[in-house]
Structure 1
Amino acid sequence: MEISHALYSRFQRGLSVSPGRAAFRAGADTATYAQADLLARRWAGALLHGGPRRPTAIGVLAAKGTASYVGILAGLYTGIPVVPLSPDFPAERTRRMVEAAGVQAVIVDPQGRAVADELNAGGARLRVLDPAADRVDDATALAAPMPVAPSDTAYVLFTSGSTGRPKGVPITHANTAHYFRYLDARFDFSPDDVFSQTFDLTFDCAMFDLFCAWGAGATAVSVPVTVYRDVPGFIAEHGITVWFSTPNAIQLVRRTGRLSPSALPGLRWSLFAGEALKEADATDWLRAAPGSTLENLYGPTELTITIAAHRWDPAASPGMCVNGLSPIGTVNDGHDHLLIGPDGEPVPEEGELWISGPQATPGYLDPRDEQGRFVPRDGRTWYNTGDRVRRAPNGELVYLGRADSQVQVQGWRVELTEVDHALRTLPGITDAATVAAENDGGLQLVVFYTGTFQRPAELASRLTRTLPAGLVPRLYVHLEEFPLNYNRKIDRTQLRKHALERIGARG
């Protein structure tokens, strides 16, 4: 019997309409819905019956492929929280995640097995299920997924913590049930769609890729990093109709010279999240994919994947942008939001975004991480996103930047996104990222930019035409391309390290 609130019910729905269709493709790895279901029930049975006790959490330690995609499904079938893990992460970081989430069993591929063996050598005591090497007894296969309660945790993901310790975010079946019901009403996905699967499985947007596709009986296609040399060719080869990635992908395609008009004719939906979407990028992508509807999706992991959306309108959206950044739109149905001013009280037009509603996680694995993020007010718990937004005249929200991206330099209050925008308007500048770094001389602004190399004095001179003198940075670093993290987002932590090195070298 299908349990409609369970996250795995999305796959069960796809199985009922598309049993013979490919549920996923990842290079040479593929499986139909029927094949993936059978494997998942076998692996789930092995996890439940293959040890002395029932695991409290199940890790999936594998690169994109059968082991990871079916592994996530198998973990959900057990009714036990699933913890996606990356074999590319440092073993010490993975060990911290395993301990924090209480992972006692892992599903691995060959690369993941090497990491698991290293963890066990260090005393982790993980049960390891390696489908490529271990015999799975069909006699223990589940006849159907195990029942779960709405309040049960479906999966646990980790976000970076200010202390360097990853923060565990448990997402419940109730959280995902509300979210995917909202998406079903918003989008017209069908079994004929083919979804890109660009995000690392440790990133929450990967759950959108998989469970939107699986809920429609469609196919999810893994997008390897090498594809960014020819995204239009890959999309055409695989018949992709739904593209979802970070906005940085737009710049990568542009850099290859393949973001030409109508280069992406097969796309129906173009979706972006994970970073601020720039007006110029949205315009260029839609010119390349004129048959698609473009949406800018926004949301932290703590609010279940995405919590707001703006449907781009070529006529109206550019006029709503601030500092060249797209609106993030309206908050998902069923949620309330507040804009909080510097005094901690609600304000009507511009402030820090707080949200309350059914997509909010119950809290971090470690309650010590909740200070300042989960805030009781008026008998409810609000999640403080840490993002500053402005309310547009039509009521939609416009992203201004992180609250901590507003810094004070020599008495000037500086919005780093404003500096970025001013730089991007200069001739020869492709993109810019400004960071603040502090040494004995105080806080300094350091600009990293791509495009044509220009003399720092010339850049500073041009910026004085649009920025007050106190906001004009003194240090400029030209890059061929920005460093990216594993989710193809600009690695600002790395940029800040480079900035400190540069300031130290100058001092």
Structure 2
Amino acid sequence: MPLSLVERFLRGLSLSPDRPAVRIGSDVVTYREVHDTALRWAGALMADGSPGPVAVLAGKSVTAYVAPLAVLYAGGTVVPLQPNFPAALTRRMIKVAGADRLIADERGLAVLPQVTGEETAVRVLDTGGIDDRFTTIPVTSQTGISAPVRTTPSDPAYILFTSGSTGVPKGVPVSHGGFAHYFDELDRRIDFRPDDVFAQTYDLNFDPGIHDVFASWGAGAMMLAVPPSAYRDLPAYLAEHRVTVWHSTPSGIWMAREMGGLEKGALDGLRWSFFGGEALRCQDVRDWLAAAPGSKLENLYGPTEFSIGITWHRWSGEQSERRGVNGTVPIGKVHDAHDFRLVTEEGEQSPAEGELWITGPQITSGYLDPADNDGRFVEFEGRRWYRTGDRVRAHPDGELAYIGRMDSQVKVHGWRVELAEVDHVVRECDGVRDAVTVTRSAPHGTELVVFYTGDVVPEPMLADGVRAVLPDSTLPRRYVHLATLPLNSNRKVDRIALRKQAQELS
């Protein structure tokens, strides 16, 4: 029987009651301490009324890890928020989620006066040190409950926010059942152990961060919050903390490489490496595994609407390279009990290539605003499907290879251009480390701009490489060298920033 998120923590508690559950800098808390605090905070939330959605406004702190568990213990729904987001955006998320209670750490409390207002009044759990500017929910030694509240698989565990093409965040309720199915898949193929140390790189409002927390806690292992400064000397940092499990976006690979952290055998303490959130390049995998020769590596794929992840591919060297597209690693097979279909632009099902549609037990019930469902959730043959917007290619055995976003295929002077293909060709040029192609508006129509890192390469050399796959009329108009590619808050390449920069070029 798949375990709920709460049951996963309780399993870890039984395995490692007095071992560290989480470490942030010099702050270390044990499983027993996390459990006792979560019971006390949960009781306070319940004494204040039915929990419902509870916002957690916190950076990476002890509060940020204990608070979600407390909300789940109380039978509520976690709404994770970031203190460094614009106040207006956070205010809107609180309103959309319907959260009237909030747990905050020191950073969250510092920005809370800018976030709250007449339409977003919240009561704040008094975890200590909260001043009289806020209406508080008292926490005492008597407020604790003896055991977590039971929930059903259909109850929402988290409300996460994802930005659509308009940049307006959409609320995604993710059920206990969806998470249980995801982690059951993980448990059946991965041998996590109590002596593992997980490197936690993601922010906790991003669903891969939830993977880190409950994959670690389900094994009774320790989770280590990794600060950005760790990349200055990643081998020394991972060795000092005896890290055995790594998880990040592929951008983490090139950050480590830029700092000289991928020397042969430099990461030899790793047992497992996971990457997701962006297309994973085969060359990056080769570089990472040269530094981490004892690690198994998986490429994880899945939209928020499918409870963290829905496919996985275990790296197998040359076979993985042959099955990928444009130099990227396959995204693998969909989880058990799920089905997929590939749909062409004409709306026809294809056995080989098209937009990926998926259905199965991990699918969310839909966005908080039903109007957002249009065009994403569709009924077909009596089943409800999610349109991912991703173009993929299927092998006969059902394994999938990622090609690119459907909206990354653009028309330039009437020709269809796949931006991921341009990226791949530029990366193959001598001296280029990474490349991202974006579009910009011009008087004569749409044109392409390529941003790349690595050595400064003469534009004619780059253009010669691209000319092999594109007609002259569609060749990029500019090739811009950058020291590093900009990243957004989820540590993915910030394509919005690059498009803005491209538009401002003379």
Write the distance in 2 (CA, Å) between the matches of 1:14 and 1:166.
34
The correspondence for 1:96, drawn from 92, 96, 99, is 92
Within a 5 Å distance, the mapping from 1:284-303 to structure 2 comes to: 284-303=287-306
- What displacement does 1:125 show? 1.2
Q: Which residue of structure 2 lines up, in the alignment, with residue 118 of structure 1?
A: 114
Q: Which residue of structure 1 lines up, in the alignment, with residue 32 of structure 2?
A: 34
The correspondence for 1:61, drawn from 57, 60, 64, is 57
Opposite residue 93 of structure 1, the aligned amino acid is L
Check conservation: 1:60, 1:71, Cα contact below 8 A.
Answer: yes
Q: Which residue of structure 1 lines up, in the alignment, with residue 164 of structure 2?
A: 161
Write the distance in 1 (CA, Å) between the matches of 2:124 and 2:417.
51
Check conservation: 1:5, 1:150, Cα contact below 8 A.
Answer: no
The verdict on how the C-alpha distance between 1:411 and 1:214 changes in structure 2, with shifts beyond 3 A counting, is: same
Within a 5 Å distance, the mapping from 1:338-377 to structure 2 comes to: 338-377=341-380
Q: Which residue of structure 2 lines up, in the alignment, with residue 12 of structure 1?
A: 10
- What displacement does 1:123 show? 4.5
Q: Secondary structure at the match of 1:486?
A: coil
- What displacement does 1:393 show? 4.6
- What displacement does 1:54 show? 2.9
> Residues 318-344 of structure 1: CA distance to partner in whole angstroms, max 9, x if unpaired?
112211111001111110000111221
Check conservation: 2:155, 2:175, Cα contact below 8 A.
Answer: yes
Write the distance in 2 (CA, Å) between the matches of 1:225 and 1:174.
33
Within a 5 Å distance, the mapping from 1:388-399 to structure 2 comes to: 388-399=391-402
Write the distance in 2 (CA, Å) between the matches of 1:142 and 1:279.
50
Within a 5 Å distance, the mapping from 1:27-426 to structure 2 comes to: 27-49=25-47, 51=48, 53-121=49-117, 123-133=119-129, 136-426=139-429
- What displacement does 1:132 show? 3.4
Write the distance in 2 (CA, Å) between the matches of 1:354 and 1:335.
11
Report which stretch shifted further, 204-213 or 315-324.
315-324
The correspondence for 1:494, drawn from 489, 492, 497, is 497
- What displacement does 1:501 show? 1.4
Structure 1 spans left out of the alignment, 5+ residues: none
- 1:25 corresponds to 2:28: no
Check conservation: 1:335, 1:358, Cα contact below 8 A.
Answer: yes
Write the distance in 2 (CA, Å) between the matches of 1:333 and 1:405.
29
Check conservation: 1:295, 1:311, Cα contact below 8 A.
Answer: yes
Write the distance in 1 (CA, Å) between the matches of 2:312 and 2:32.
33
Count of residue pairs brought into register by the alignment? 499
Write the distance in 1 (CA, Å) between the matches of 2:396 and 2:260.
37
- What displacement does 1:277 show? 0.3
Q: Which residue of structure 2 lines up, in the alignment, with residue 438 of structure 1?
A: 441
Q: For the aligned residues, what is the CA RMSD?
A: 1.5
The verdict on how the C-alpha distance between 1:130 and 1:490 changes in structure 2, with shifts beyond 3 A counting, is: farther
Write the distance in 1 (CA, Å) between the matches of 2:156 and 2:384.
19
- What displacement does 1:164 show? 2.9
Report which stretch shifted further, 365-374 or 113-122.
113-122
Write the distance in 2 (CA, Å) between the matches of 1:375 and 1:120.
36
Q: Secondary structure at the match of 2:331?
A: strand
Write the distance in 2 (CA, Å) between the matches of 1:497 and 1:22.
44
Q: Secondary structure at the match of 2:346?
A: coil
Check conservation: 1:387, 1:400, Cα contact below 8 A.
Answer: yes
The verdict on how the C-alpha distance between 1:424 and 1:149 changes in structure 2, with shifts beyond 3 A counting, is: same
Check conservation: 2:392, 2:404, Cα contact below 8 A.
Answer: yes
Opposite residue 241 of structure 1, the aligned amino acid is T
- What displacement does 1:476 show? 1.5
Opposite residue 11 of structure 2, the aligned amino acid is R
Write the distance in 1 (CA, Å) between the matches of 2:110 and 2:260.
39
Check conservation: 1:241, 1:266, Cα contact below 8 A.
Answer: yes
> Residues 400-441 of structure 1: CA distance to partner in whole angstroms, max 9, x if unpaired?
000000011011110000000000011111110001122433
Report which stretch shifted further, 239-248 or 467-476.
467-476
Write the distance in 2 (CA, Å) between the matches of 1:169 and 1:77.
21
> Residues 260-286 of structure 1: CA distance to partner in whole angstroms, max 9, x if unpaired?
111111111111001100010011111
- What displacement does 1:255 show? 0.8
Check conservation: 1:419, 1:471, Cα contact below 8 A.
Answer: no
Give the structure-2-normalised TM-score.
Answer: 0.96
Write the distance in 2 (CA, Å) between the matches of 1:259 and 1:367.
46
Write the distance in 2 (CA, Å) between the matches of 1:368 and 1:123.
22
Write the distance in 1 (CA, Å) between the matches of 2:120 and 2:486.
33
Q: Which residue of structure 1 lines up, in the alignment, with residue 453 of structure 2?
A: 450
Check conservation: 1:460, 1:474, Cα contact below 8 A.
Answer: no
Write the distance in 2 (CA, Å) between the matches of 1:198 and 1:164.
24
Opposite residue 460 of structure 1, the aligned amino acid is A
Report which stretch shifted further, 457-466 or 35-44.
457-466
Write the distance in 2 (CA, Å) between the matches of 1:128 and 1:303.
31
- What displacement does 1:121 show? 4.3
Check conservation: 1:259, 1:288, Cα contact below 8 A.
Answer: yes
Q: Secondary structure at the match of 2:404?
A: strand
Check conservation: 2:21, 2:221, Cα contact below 8 A.
Answer: yes
Check conservation: 2:413, 2:474, Cα contact below 8 A.
Answer: no
- What displacement does 1:47 show? 1.7
Check conservation: 2:3, 2:184, Cα contact below 8 A.
Answer: no
Check conservation: 1:248, 1:488, Cα contact below 8 A.
Answer: yes
Check conservation: 1:158, 1:169, Cα contact below 8 A.
Answer: yes
Report which stretch shifted further, 491-500 or 114-123.
114-123
Check conservation: 2:95, 2:119, Cα contact below 8 A.
Answer: no
Check conservation: 1:232, 1:264, Cα contact below 8 A.
Answer: yes
Check conservation: 2:200, 2:224, Cα contact below 8 A.
Answer: yes
Check conservation: 2:51, 2:74, Cα contact below 8 A.
Answer: no
Write the distance in 1 (CA, Å) between the matches of 2:454 and 2:16.
47
Write the distance in 1 (CA, Å) between the matches of 2:76 and 2:258.
43
Write the distance in 1 (CA, Å) between the matches of 2:231 and 2:304.
25
Opposite residue 148 of structure 2, the aligned amino acid is P
Report which stretch shifted further, 102-111 or 385-394.
385-394
Check conservation: 1:116, 1:126, Cα contact below 8 A.
Answer: no
Write the distance in 2 (CA, Å) between the matches of 1:404 and 1:29.
44
Opposite residue 240 of structure 2, the aligned amino acid is E
Give the structure-1-normalised TM-score.
Answer: 0.96
Q: Secondary structure at the match of 2:120?
A: coil
Write the distance in 2 (CA, Å) between the matches of 1:465 and 1:177.
47
- What displacement does 1:122 show? 5.2
Q: Secondary structure at the match of 1:8?
A: helix
Check conservation: 1:193, 1:240, Cα contact below 8 A.
Answer: yes
Write the distance in 1 (CA, Å) between the matches of 2:28 and 2:338.
38
The verdict on how the C-alpha distance between 1:79 and 1:4 changes in structure 2, with shifts beyond 3 A counting, is: farther
Q: Secondary structure at the match of 2:202?
A: coil
